[in-house]
Structures are given as C-alpha cells and as structure tokens.
C-alpha cells in the first residue's frame, strides 16, 4: 500500500484473489468433501481447535491442582 497505493485488481495469491479465480474458472470448491479453496475451514478441522482448547484447559487444571 505504501509503495503502489490501492490495487485495482486482486492478486491471485491472496485469499480473495483465489476465490475470484475459482469463480471465474468454474473450479470446484470441494473435492471428496474437503475444501480446495483457501480460506475455508472444513467442519472436521474445527474439532482440532476444540481438542486444542480442551487440552489447554486440562493442563491448566492439572497445574492448579498441584
């Protein structure tokens, strides 16, 4: 932004640019239930976040009880 200012077109290397590229070329967003397009989070992947938070909570409870 400092060097060139606002761009009139999206770069295809950004998430918004990839979404635009997928729309323009009619590429499939999913393959076998998994997203191909960047910036989308699969439903199963949210379980990893829940597992991570649960693990942190369990470790916290273990340190408090000692």
Specify the pLDDT at position 58.
95
Taking only the tens place, the pLDDT of each residue in 8-65 is 777 888 888 888 889 999 989 888 888 888 888 888 889 999 999 999 999 999 998 7
**Which run of H or E residues covers position 40?**
none
Sequence spans of domains, the chain: 15-65
Burial of 37 (0-12, 13-18, 19+ CB in 10 A): middle
In angstroms, the CA 7 to CA 14 distance is 12
**Which run of H or E residues covers position 63?**
helix 45-65
């Amino acid at each position: 932004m400092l060097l060139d200012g606002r761009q009139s077109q999206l770069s295809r290397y950004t998430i918004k640019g990839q979404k635009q590229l997928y729309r323009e070329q009619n590429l499939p967003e999913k393959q076998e239930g998994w997203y191909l397009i960047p910036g989308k989070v699969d439903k199963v992947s949210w379980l990893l976040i829940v597992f991570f938070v649960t693990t942190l909570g369990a470790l916290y409870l273990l340190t408090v009880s000692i």
